[in-house]
Amino acid sequence: MTPRIGIIPGDPSGIGPELVARLLTADGVTQAADIVLIGDRVVLEQGMAQAGCDYSLDPVDPAAIGGSTGLRWLETQTITASDIIVGRETEASGRSVLATLERALDLLRDGVIEALVFAPFNKAAMHLAGLSHADELHHIGAYLGVQNYLSELNTLDGMWTSRVTSHIALRDVADAITPDRLIEAIELADTTLRRSGVVRPRIAVAALNPHAGDGGNFGTEEIDVITPTVEKLAARQMAISGPWPSDTVFLKVAAKEIDAVVTMYHDQGQIALKLMGFSRGVTVQGGIPYPITTPAHGTAFDIAGQGRADVGATRAAFDIACDMVRNWA
């Protein structure tokens, strides 16, 4: 069965429109899925000009999207050409992002599309436009009425990371690591990997403290919280181990000894994966009841409009979305 994937161009001021143009003209993409492209003509044509390539903007009646095949364009009108300032965060671009995102979420909720791939957003622009949540993941969750645990997962060449805490101050991390939160993060990683096609995910849990606490000399979170939780889940036949020192656990990922690392805070996993392959990393919106993926890099305002954007991570996000549709359960 051919997956039906929605795609939105992200922040008009960044490299997103160029990335969408490169993606839609890449070999095999339009054959791999029925694609519903959601966005403004001015934004999409801007991306084509930046990328030096073009694709057909074949409009579709909103009422007929469910029966369409191939590449179809659902036109939106969220921003004017004069309001697009390439390379700068603006309220206008933030409004455009929120409008196209919410249109795509409506299509997901209504079953018109099965997954969503979005080109990079800029959080500062979204906040200028009225975003009241810390990030797009929690905005998506609130818009869809999701009540369960949410967390971004990142993946690169089959290696995955999840995290117990995300967009909070580092000083607050230790207090936020509780058995319940740790269980939620590990179970979310296990479920997400299974939905991407990994039959029995092998998960390693990173320690919080240097040398995994060194027997309590450098902190007791490993003794009090992390180890008992890992043992509890291992007793349920989950393929899990840890806590491992975070400065060595990613060697196990690179050696393909494990599939995923559950980290304790944002940069603990992000730095490792981005060093391994910044231009190929993908973020999966974990805990949302539909597959939603995006390249893990940002809007790259420093190179926006220069025709230099690398489509590698966007292509990987598209491929993972297709895989997740096929394995979703």
DSSP state of 59: B
| CA–CA dist 282, 237 (Å, integer) | 28
| Residue with token string 């939105």 | 8
Contact status, residue 76 vs residue 40, Cβ threshold 8 Å? yes
Two tokens at 24?
A: 């839609």
How do residues 145-199 score in pLDDT, each as one tens digit? 999 999 999 999 889 999 999 888 999 999 999 999 999 999 999 999 999 999 9
Q: 328: buried, middle or exposed (CB in 10 Å: 19+, 13-18, 0-12)?
A: middle
Amino acid at 69: T
Q: How many CB atoms lie within 10 A of CB 68?
A: 18
Question: Number of C-alpha atoms within 13 angstroms, CB side, residue 52?
Answer: 4
The answer to whether the bond into 289 is cis (omega within 30° of 0) is no
Amino acid at 188: L
pLDDT tens track, the chain, 329 positions: 899 999 999 999 999 999 999 999 999 999 999 999 999 999 999 999 999 999 999 888 888 887 777 899 999 999 999 999 999 999 999 999 999 999 999 999 999 999 999 999 999 999 999 999 989 999 999 999 999 999 999 999 889 999 999 888 999 999 999 999 999 999 999 999 999 999 999 999 999 999 999 999 999 999 999 999 999 999 999 999 999 999 999 999 889 999 999 999 999 988 988 888 877 899 999 999 999 999 999 999 999 999 999 999 999 999 999 999 999 86
| CA–CA dist 134, 157 (Å, integer) | 28
Could you tell me which of 282, 281, 276 has the C-alpha nearest to residue 321?
282
Full set of structural domains in the chain with CATH: 1-146+288-329 (3.40.718.10), 149-277 (3.40.718.10)
Pairing of strands 260-263, 159-163: parallel
Name the H helices within 78-178: 91-109, 123-128, 136-144, 173-176
Q: What is the pTM of this model?
A: 0.92
| CA–CA dist 167, 147 (Å, integer) | 18
- Give, in degrees to the nearest 5, the angle at Cα 185 between 183 and 190: 95
Two tokens at 278?
A: 């910044």
